[in-house]
Amino acid sequence: MSVNYNNTIDETALIEAGLGLTADRIKLYVYKQDPGLFDLLDFDDDAIFLEPLVAAHRRATYGKYAHHAPVDSLPLSLRQALYGYIKPEQRPTTLSVVSDNQGWVYIPRLGYFITPCTNAALQLTYLHATDTFFIMQDGELITADFKPCQFIATPDIHLYQSNPALLNTLFNKLEADTVTQADPSLPEANIVAAIPARLPELGKAFAIIRHYLPDYYHQICLVAKGLMVFENPYVRPFATPFAPGISFISVAPTDSVIYFIVELIHQFGHNMLYAIMDNRKSYFQIDPMAPLSVFNHNPKERRSLFSAFHGLFTTTKIAECLEVLYYSNVFQGDEQQEIVARLADNKRRFRTGIERIEHDRILTPQGVALYEHLDTSCAAVYRRLDAVVREYNVSNQPFMFTYSLFKEANLV
């Protein structure tokens, strides 16, 4: 798709174009790995090939530096990841599957088979005549309860109820300070317990975004494939290009609906930029993973060029969206005050280093145009809101915004 960078950038068009590139790359991967599986799927349906576990499978196969690893050593097969996308009349009658450390066998688009066998190689049997499934181990039928996939907001946003092994490994790759490195692993997260208790806030957050931020909601729907809500104080909310389409949101009992709104905007914003920058060479003249400190001459800088660009994108999206919610008076009293507080905190994350690099030497013309588009938009938000946020003190805020600390610092 050709995009005119001389006018206002159409972010939706960029997202759609990037998702098309992603799907094409995954189609090629599936074909190379398992031509027989490829024949069972609808080649023209890009949504199939945007399944996050397939991207995670590709990442696990090739590794960080694209060195090939044996596919049979992976914790979840490509066939298990895509079996639920095969039309029932074409489904193979048997499938080798693996359970996770809770004994759950996850089949995307189908659901979860809950077994007593943890981290085990099992066999799934499908009876076409009755449209029923059975789980077997070493030829013996085992007891397995079934939970269908649960979706939120749209039929495409899967609410994860277990920890698929391919995703579990991502939680150990987060950058963190000394304290959070003490226990950063997902097995400590309580996903199943977190979901029912937080569904009201999640549902309300999506409803508010859909009603008051329809354009952004549409963009979320383009990229969103899953939402993993978990309880673990050692892991921050995050998104990752190794499982594009999923937002991983860490929750605590005190989190408000505004927290969920901000994190949905934030983490799905990362997923939008993963799609937009599917071909990073279109935006960067040099390696986007190069240290930003080399170019902005800040010895304390720890981010890469790519992560700094992500920071600009998500900071801008949060500013744009919260400004709309602020002026729409969606919330009143303390909740409206939290919107203002989060706007003030978000401002300190704007122009934190990427603005000091020589853009023409590091970014392509498309990259420069996208940078200027975002920088201009975010700056405009804070010009309009200057009188609203100017006087607030956010100097005591940790990396993750904490409203109680804001109230302490500002006596509100």
Q: Return d(Cα 292, Cα 305) in angstroms, integer.
A: 5
CB atoms within 10 A of CB 376: 10
- β 145-148/94-98 pair status: unpaired
Angle at 303 between CA 301 and CA 307, to 5 degrees: 150
Q: Return d(Cα 365, Cα 371) in angstroms, integer.
A: 10
Q: Return d(Cα 347, Cα 362) in angstroms, integer.
A: 25
- pLDDT at residue 109, as a whole number: 96
In terms of Cα–Cα distance, which of 226, 87, 74, 224 is closest to 149?
226
- Report the SS3 class of residue 240: coil
Cβ–Cβ under 8 Å, residues 322 and 346: yes
Cβ–Cβ under 8 Å, residues 373 and 313: no
Give the global pTM. 0.92
- Sheet containing 104-107: order of strands: 104-107, 111-114, 145-148
- pLDDT at residue 1, as a whole number: 34
- pLDDT at residue 72, as a whole number: 52
Q: What is the DSSP string of 13-63?
A: HHHHHHHHHHHHHHHHHHHHH-HHHHHHS-TT-HHHHT-HHHHHHHHHHHT
- Report the SS3 class of residue 228: strand
- pLDDT at residue 183, as a whole number: 44
**pLDDT per residue as tens, the chain (412 positions):** 333 434 579 999 999 999 999 999 999 999 999 999 988 999 999 999 999 999 999 988 886 534 444 555 567 899 999 999 999 999 999 999 999 888 999 999 999 999 999 989 999 999 999 999 999 999 999 999 999 999 999 999 999 998 888 887 777 544 444 333 334 455 557 777 788 889 999 999 999 999 999 999 999 999 999 999 998 887 889 999 999 999 999 998 889 999 999 999 999 999 999 999 999 999 999 999 999 999 888 888 889 999 999 999 999 999 999 999 999 999 999 999 999 999 999 999 999 889 999 999 999 999 999 999 999 999 999 999 999 999 999 999 998 999 999 999 998 7
